[in-house]
Amino acid sequence: MNARLARAASSLAVIAVLLAAWELAVGYGLLKAYQFPPPSKIARGFVELSLTGFPTGVSLWTHTGVTIWRVLQGYVAAILLAVPLGLLIGALPVLDKLSAPLIVFCRSVATLSLLPLVIVWFGAGELTKVVLIGYGCFWTMLSNVIAGVRYVDPVLVRAARSCGLQGPELYREIVLPAALPRIFAGARMALGVGFMVIVGAEMIGTIQGLGALIMEARTFYRSEITIVGMLVIGLLGFLISSGLAGLERVLMPWAGNLDQVRR
Amino acid sequence: MSGTALRSNDLALGLIGTLAVILLWETSVRTGLIDPAVFPSPSLAIAAASERLTARQLGENLSWSLARVFSGFALGALAGVLVGVLAGWYRRFGLVVSPLVELLRPIPPLAWIPLAIIWFGLGEPSKFFIIFLGAFFPVVTAAYQGMRSVDPMLLRAGQTMGLSGVPLLLRVAIPAAAPDLATGLRIGWGLSFGVLVAAELIAADRGLGYMIIAERNAGGSVGVIIVGILLIGALNLLTDAAIGVAIRHWVGRWHGS
Amino acid sequence: MSCAGDISMREPDATPQAGRRTRAPFIRIEAVHKAFAARQGGELMVLDSIDLDIAENEFVSLIGRSGCGKTTLLNIIAGLDAATSGRIAIGERPVTGPGQGQGVVFQQHALFPWLTALGNVSFGFRKAGLPLEERRERSLELLRLVGLEAAANKYPREMSGGMQQRVSIARALALDPQILLMDEPFGALDELTRIELQQELLRIWQARRKTVVFVTHSIDEALMLSDRIVLLAPNPGRIQRIFEVPMPRPRSRTEPAFNALYDEIWSELSS
C-alpha cells in the first residue's frame, strides 16, 4: 500500500512540476501563449466553457452530453445486434468458418472512411453519426463474442460432458458463462472504438459535441478551449474504461484480469 | 491468433461465405432490390471508379497515403519502443515518464487534430504528428508492460553469464519482452492506419481518405467512394496479415510453453 | 543416451577421510551473515554465522527444511546476493558479483526461450570471445556431453523438463566455471527423469571435474551425489551438522551404508 501511495505521490509531483514549468515558460515568453496556453488560461477556459459555453450558449456539459448520447445510441444498437448474432455464429462452427473472412474484412474497414458514404445515404444529421458508431462497435463486439464462445477452455467442456451435459444445455450452462469474460472485454473494446469514431465524426459538419467543440475552438483561435475539450475527452474515455472494468469485476468476480487478452 | 495454420477446409468455407455475400450484393442491385444510385453493386462500383479515376490518380493518392502511414508509424513506433523500454528498465525514468503518458493516453489521436493544426499548420507535419501519436501510445504501453513483466529468472541467468547494465538490457531483457512488443506494434499499425484515413478525411488534399470525401463533395459517383472504402479495408487487412506472418516467424517460433 | 547403472568408473573416487581436510579449501565461507529488513521493522536473520570450507572438485550438498536459507547461501556464493557481513572467496578471490566463474543452474531452467538449445549453450561462450564456428563446435560438444546433440536446433518450449535442465547444465558448463552451483535443479521433474539426471550429472562431473555446491531438499538425492552433506537448520539459518559420505560411487540405494546414513540424517533433520 505504501508503495502505491509513493508512486501516486511522485506522479502528482511530476505533473505539478510540469505544469508549473509550463506556466513560467509562457510567462517568460519562452513558449507562445497561443500554441501552448498556460494552465491558468486553460483553467479559465474551463470555467468559461462550463458557465457561458462555447459557442455562447452551448456549455461544456451540453457538448459532453451530446457526444455521450450519440455514442450510447450507436453502442447499444451495436451490442444488441452483435451479441445474439455472435452467440449464434459461435455456436455453429460452420457459420463461423463461412463468415470469418467477411467479419475480419468489415472490421478492417476504417470506420471513418464510411463517413462520406453514410452522408450520401442519411444526410449529415444525427443518424449518420449513430450509424457510424454502430458500425465500428458492431464488428469489434461481434468478433469478441464469437471468440469468447469458440475459445472456451476445452478442459471445461470435457468436464461438463463427463457430467452428462451436452448440446444446448452444455452451451447454456458452461459455454456461455465461460465466454463472459471475453464478451465483456469485447464490450469494453467496442466502447473504446465507438469513442474514437465519434470524436472524428464530430469534426465534420456539426457544431455540437466534443469533437466539434475542439475544431470550432481552433477556428476562433481559442486554443485553450481546444485543450479543455481534449482533456474532457480523455477523462471521459478513462472514466468509461475504468467504469466498465469495475463493472466487470463486480459482475464476474471469478474471472481473472483480462487486460492481456490477445485477439 | 493461435499458431495453428488455416486448414484448407476452413479456407474453402471462408471463400464460399465471402463469395455468397458478394453474389447476394450483386444480384440484389441487379434485380432492383437496392437502388444502384445509392448502393451500387461491385461491378457497377468498379465500372464507375474506372471511369472517374485514372490509374495515375489512384496510384498517386495511394502512394501519398502509404508514405504518410509508413513514416508516421515508423517514427511513432520507434519513439514508443525507446521510451517504453527505457521507462521499464530505468525506474527513475519510468517514474517521470509514466504519469505523463498515462495522462495523455486516453485522449484519442484524432482529438489531437486541432492542436496539431495549431502547432504545425495545415500541411503534412500535422498529419504526420497524428499518425505518429496513433502508433506511439499502443507501442509505448506494450513496451513498458513487456519490460516490467520480464521473468526475473532470465535476468539472473544473464547475470550469471557475466552480463549487466546495457548488455543485459539488450541481450536478455529486450528479447524477453519481444512478444509483448510485437503485439503492441501490430495494434499500433492498425491504429495508425485508422487514424490516417480519418486524418485524410478531415484535413488533407491528397491521399485515399481525401479521394473519398472529395468525390462526395463533388457530388460524384458513389461507386468511387465504395471502391475507395474497400481498397482501404483491403490494404489494412493485407498489411495486418503481413505483420501477423512476420510475428509468427520471429516470435511465434519460440514463444509459448 | 546413458541409463541408470550403466556408468563404468575407471577408478573409485578418492574419498576424503572423515573430518580431515587434506586439500586447501577452494571455496571459503567465513562468518557469513545475511539479514533482511523485516516488514514490521527490525531484522530477519536468514543466515547466521556460516563457516564452511569446500575443497576443489568436491561435491557438496546443502540440505534442510524450507526457511533454512540454503538458496540464499547459494545465491551469495553465486554473487547474485550480497552477504550482510562475512567473507566469501573462491580460489582466494573474494566474491563481488555474479559472472566471476560461478556457473549456476536454477530450478526453473531459465533458458532463453528465443534461442535454440545450441544458441543457449553458445551464449555461455560469448565471453570467451571465440569465433562463431568454434563457438558452435564447442557448444555441440557440450550438448553431446549431456546427451542432447540431436536436439540442438530445438527451442526450449519444444523440449521436456528433463531436456531443458540438461541444456541448462550444458550452458553453465560453457562458461568454463570454477564452480557449479545448482539450486534444486531436478526439483521440478518427475521421479524417473530425476533419477536419470542424477546419474547424468555424476557422469558429467566425472568427465569435467568441477567443484559443485548442490541445493536439494531430498536426502536421497544428496546421498547419491555428494562427498559431503551440509545440514542447515532454519530460523535463523545455520549449519546444524556436516556429514561425510565416504561411499564409493556408483552408489546404490540398497546398500546398508546408504540406508544407515539416510537414517542418521533423517533423525538429525527431524530433531
> What pLDDT, in 10s, does the model give residues B226-237?
888 888 899 999
A93, part of any domain: yes
Angle made by CA atoms C35, C41, C46, in degrees to the nearest 5: 20
Please state whether the peptide bond connecting residue B109 to the residue before it is cis, i.e. omega within 30 degrees of 0: no
User: In this complex, which chains have at least 3 CB pairs below 8 Å with chain B?
Assistant: A, C
Minimal-distance CA residue of chain A relative to B197:
A113
- Taking every pair of C-alpha atoms in chain C, what is the biggest distance, in angstroms? 57
Inter-chain CB proximity C157 and B255 less than 8 Å: yes
Name the most confidently modeled range: A51-55, B12-16, B112-116. Answer: B112-116
Give C-chain residues touching B172 at CB under 8 angstroms: 112
B15, part of any domain: no
Shortest distance, CA B172 to any CA of chain C (angstroms)? 8
pLDDT of residue C261: 92
**Cβ-nearest to A101 among B14, B197, B212:** B14
Mean pLDDT across B147-153:
93
Name the most confidently modeled range: B12-16, B18-22, B175-179, C29-33. Answer: B175-179
C197 and C233 housed in the same domain:
yes
Task: Report how far residue B180's alpha carbon sits from residue B151's, in angstroms, rounded to the nearest whole number.
Answer: 13
CB count, 10 Å around CB of B124? 15
Residue C17 has pLDDT above 70, yes or no: no
C119, part of any domain: yes
Domain hosting C59: range is 25-101+177-270
Angle made by CA atoms C44, C48, C52, in degrees to the nearest 5: 145
Domain hosting A194: range is 63-222+236-251
Give C-chain residues touching B257 at CB under 8 angstroms: 157
C1, part of any domain: no
Three-class SS of residue C45? strand
Among B255, B137, B147, B117, smallest CA distance to B190 is for B137
Residue A263 has pLDDT above 60, yes or no: no
Inter-chain CB proximity A234 and B103 less than 8 Å: yes
pLDDT confidence bin for C12, thresholds 50/70/90: very low
Instruction: Quote the DSSP letter at residue C108.
Output: S
A256 vs A55, more confident = A55
Residue C9 has pLDDT above 60, yes or no: no
Looking at C129, C155, C174, the residue that finishes a domain is C174
Question: Which distant-in-sequence residues (6+ apart) come within 8 Å of A178 by Cβ?
Answer: A152, A153, A156
Residue type, A48: E
pLDDT of residue A137: 95
What is the CA A159 to chain-centroid distance, rounded? 37
Among A19, A17, A53, smallest CA distance to A36 is for A19
Inter-chain CB proximity A203 and B100 less than 8 Å: no
B29, part of any domain: no
A193, part of any domain: yes
The residue to which cell 532463453 is assigned: C112
Contact C254, C5 (CB under 8 A): no
CB count, 10 Å around CB of B24? 11
B36, part of any domain: no
C194 and C93 housed in the same domain:
yes
Torsion sign over Cα C95, C96, C101, C106:
positive
The dihedrals phi and psi of C215, each to the nearest 5 degrees, come to -95, 130
Inter-chain CB proximity B233 and A203 less than 8 Å: no
A161 vs C271, more confident = A161
Contact B3, B256 (CB under 8 A): yes
**Cβ-nearest to B117 among A116, A119, A218:** A218
Looking at C174, C204, C225, the residue that finishes a domain is C174
C80 and C165 housed in the same domain:
no
Which strand (E) or helix (H) includes residue A104? helix A93-108
Please state whether the peptide bond connecting residue A37 to the residue before it is cis, i.e. omega within 30 degrees of 0: no
Minimal-distance CA residue of chain B relative to A106:
B233
This prediction's pTM: 0.86
Q: How many domains is chain C built from?
A: 2
Which of B110-119, B153-162, C29-38, C68-77 is predicted least confidently?
C29-38
Instruction: Provide the CATH number for the domain around residue C84.
Output: 3.40.50.300
Task: Report how far residue B87's alpha carbon sits from residue C87's, in angstroms, rounded to the nearest whole number.
Answer: 36
Instruction: Provide the CATH number for the domain around residue A132.
Output: 1.10.3720.10
C6, part of any domain: no
B161, part of any domain: yes
pLDDT of residue B10: 80
C258 and C211 housed in the same domain:
yes
Name the most confidently modeled range: A247-256, B91-100, C63-72. Answer: B91-100
Which of B222-226, C35-39, C123-127, C206-210 is predicted least confidently?
C35-39
pLDDT confidence bin for C216, thresholds 50/70/90: very high
Mean pLDDT across C24-43:
81
Inter-chain CB proximity B114 and A234 less than 8 Å: no
Percentage of chain A beyond pLDDT 90 is 43
Tell me the pLDDT tens digit for each residue of B18-69.
899 888 888 888 887 777 777 888 888 888 888 877 888 888 888 989 999 9
Backbone dihedral region of C69: left (phi > 0), alpha (psi from -120 to 50 degrees) or beta? left
**Mean predicted lDDT score pLDDT of chain A:** 88
Are β-strands C59-64 and C228-233 bridged in parallel, bridged antiparallel, or unpaired?
Answer: parallel
Minimal-distance CA residue of chain C relative to B179:
C114
pLDDT confidence bin for A255, thresholds 50/70/90: low
C-alpha cell at B149: 513483466
Mean pLDDT across C59-70:
89
Torsion sign over Cα C113, C115, C119, C122:
negative
C-alpha cell at A45: 477556459
Residue A53 has pLDDT above 90, yes or no: no
B41, part of any domain: no
pLDDT of residue A261: 38
C190 and C163 housed in the same domain:
no
Among C199, C238, C194, smallest CA distance to C216 is for C194
Residues of B with CB under 8 A from a CB of C: 151, 153-154, 156-157, 159-164, 172, 175-176, 178, 251, 253-257
Burial classification of residue B220, based on how many CB atoms lie within 10 Å of its CB (0-12 exposed, 13-18 middle, 19 or more buried): middle
Residue C20 has pLDDT above 60, yes or no: no
C140 and C235 housed in the same domain:
no
B74, part of any domain: yes
Q: How many domains is chain A built from?
A: 1
C197 and C250 housed in the same domain:
yes
Which of A141-155, B201-215, C200-214 is predicted least confidently?
B201-215
Contact A71, B108 (CB under 8 A): no
On the CB side of B41, CA atoms within 13 Å amount to 16
Test mutation, A32, A96, A102, A112, chain B, max B CBs within 10 A: A112
Helix A126-150 crosses helix A176-201 at what angle (to 10 degrees)? 150
**C102 interfacial to chain B (CB closer than 8 Å):** yes
A120 vs B136, more confident = B136
Among A138, A149, A152, smallest CA distance to A103 is for A138
A206, part of any domain: yes
B24, part of any domain: no
In the B/C pair of chains, how many CB contacts fall below 8 A?
62
Mean pLDDT across A88-110:
90
The dihedrals phi and psi of C48, each to the nearest 5 degrees, come to -125, 110
Tell me the pLDDT tens digit for each residue of A139-177.
999 999 999 998 888 888 888 888 888 888 888 888 888
Mean pLDDT across C248-267:
90
A173, part of any domain: yes
C-alpha cell at B176: 524477453
What is the CA B64 to chain-centroid distance, rounded? 16
pLDDT of residue C243: 92
Helices (H), chain C: 70-78, 117-125, 132-145, 161-174, 191-207, 219-225, 256-270
Inter-chain CB proximity C114 and B254 less than 8 Å: yes
**C124 interfacial to chain B (CB closer than 8 Å):** yes
Residue B103 has pLDDT above 80, yes or no: yes
Q: Is the ipTM of this complex over 0.95?
A: no
C159 and C187 housed in the same domain:
no
Contact B177, B141 (CB under 8 A): no
pLDDT of residue B2: 47
C192 and C62 housed in the same domain:
yes
Percentage of chain B beyond pLDDT 90 is 53
Q: How many domains is chain B built from?
A: 1
The dihedrals phi and psi of C162, each to the nearest 5 degrees, come to -65, -45
Shortest distance, CA C112 to any CA of chain B (angstroms)? 7
pLDDT of residue C1: 40
Contact C136, C118 (CB under 8 A): yes
Which of B3-17, B77-91, C65-79 is predicted least confidently?
B3-17
pLDDT of residue C132: 86
Inter-chain CB proximity C110 and B156 less than 8 Å: yes
pLDDT of residue B41: 81
pLDDT confidence bin for B5, thresholds 50/70/90: low
CA distances from B49 to A114, B54, C39 (A): 16, 8, 72
**C104 interfacial to chain B (CB closer than 8 Å):** yes
C39 and C82 housed in the same domain:
yes
Torsion sign over Cα A53, A55, A57, A59:
negative
CB count, 10 Å around CB of C74? 22
Task: Report how far residue B83's alpha carbon sits from residue B141's, in angstroms, rounded to the nearest whole number.
Answer: 9
The residue to which cell 523485516 is assigned: C38
Domain hosting B162: range is 48-252
**Cβ-nearest to C157 among B164, B172, B257:** B257
Minimal-distance CA residue of chain B relative to A236:
B106
Residue C18 has pLDDT above 50, yes or no: no
**C36 interfacial to chain B (CB closer than 8 Å):** no
C-alpha cell at A108: 478492417
Helices (H), chain B: 8-30, 42-52, 55-89, 91-104, 113-120, 124-148, 152-160, 165-168, 174-202, 208-217, 222-247
Instruction: Provide the CATH number for the domain around residue B234.
Output: 1.10.3720.10
Inter-chain CB proximity C157 and B256 less than 8 Å: yes
Tell me the pLDDT tens digit for each residue of B180-198.
999 999 999 999 998 998 8
B57, part of any domain: yes
Looking at C174, C203, C218, the residue that finishes a domain is C174
Residue type, A104: V
Residue type, A256: G
CB count, 10 Å around CB of A155? 8
Give B-chain residues touching C110 at CB under 8 angstroms: 151, 153-154, 156-157
Mean pLDDT across A32-37:
89
Three-class SS of residue A91? helix
Question: Which distant-in-sequence residues (6+ apart) come within 8 Å of B49 by Cβ?
Answer: B221, B223, B224, B227
A125, part of any domain: yes
Mean pLDDT across C107-116:
90
**Mean predicted lDDT score pLDDT of chain B:** 88
A181 vs B136, more confident = B136
pLDDT of residue A256: 58
The C-alpha R_g of chain B, in whole angstroms, comes to: 23
Tell me the pLDDT tens digit for each residue of A107-123.
988 898 888 888 888 88
Which of B20-24, B114-118, C99-103 is predicted least confidently?
C99-103
C194, part of any domain: yes
CB count, 10 Å around CB of B37? 11
Percentage of chain B beyond pLDDT 70 is 97
C8 vs C189, more confident = C189
Shortest distance, CA B199 to any CA of chain A (angstroms)? 8
Which of B219-228, C115-124, C156-165, C237-246 is predicted least confidently?
B219-228
Three-class SS of residue A263? coil
Residue A260 has pLDDT above 80, yes or no: no
A23, part of any domain: no
pLDDT of residue C5: 37
Residue C175 has pLDDT above 60, yes or no: yes
Three-class SS of residue A60? helix
Task: Report how far residue B168's alpha carbon sits from residue B164's, in angstroms, rounded to the nearest whole number.
Answer: 5
pLDDT of residue B200: 86
